[in-house]
Amino acid sequence: MENEQIKKTILIVEDNQPVLKVLADKLTREGFMIFQAKNGEEGLMVANEKHPDLILLDIIMPLMDGLTMMKKLREGSEWGKNALVIMLTNLSPEEENIVKSIHDHKPVDYLIKSNWSIKEVLAKVRDVLKKV
């Protein structure tokens, strides 16, 4: 068992099935353990149960959007206050409610999906997880 590395865990909260599949497949092939959720309600439940090392969080989703999920995560527990979150969305970070949420709930990063390749997202994930 020596040299066996403990896998880092990532929760992907994304309602777009093709995007969820691509991210999950790529991150799994890169050696990460993946949890998945299709909306903010499910994502919050999985996050609080599994305590992943990192959460990739979409904003626009049914049942509970990503901004609400992040707010509830930050307010819910000591672990949630410090959970690492990267927002992945197609929305501009200049929109007032997004600016306020980023300021109030401090995700690690904010990536606009159309501006980032899967390879670049993977590099960002590795960079963030290197620091923990």
Domains of the chain: 9-118 (3.40.50.2300)
pLDDT the model gives residue 128: 87
Examine the pLDDT at 35 and tell me if it is beyond 90: yes
Q: 2 falls in which pLDDT band (50, 70, 90)?
A: very low
From the CB of residue 126, how many other CB atoms can be counted at a distance below 10 Å? 12
pLDDT tens for each residue of 36-85: 999 999 999 999 999 999 999 998 898 999 989 999 999 988 889 889 99
Contacts of 45 (CB under 8 A, 6+ apart): 37
Give burial (CB, 10 Å; 0-12/13-18/19+) of 33: middle
pTM: 0.84
- Residue 114 tokens, joined: 């159309």
CB of 13 closer than 8 Å to CB of 55? yes
pLDDT the model gives residue 53: 95
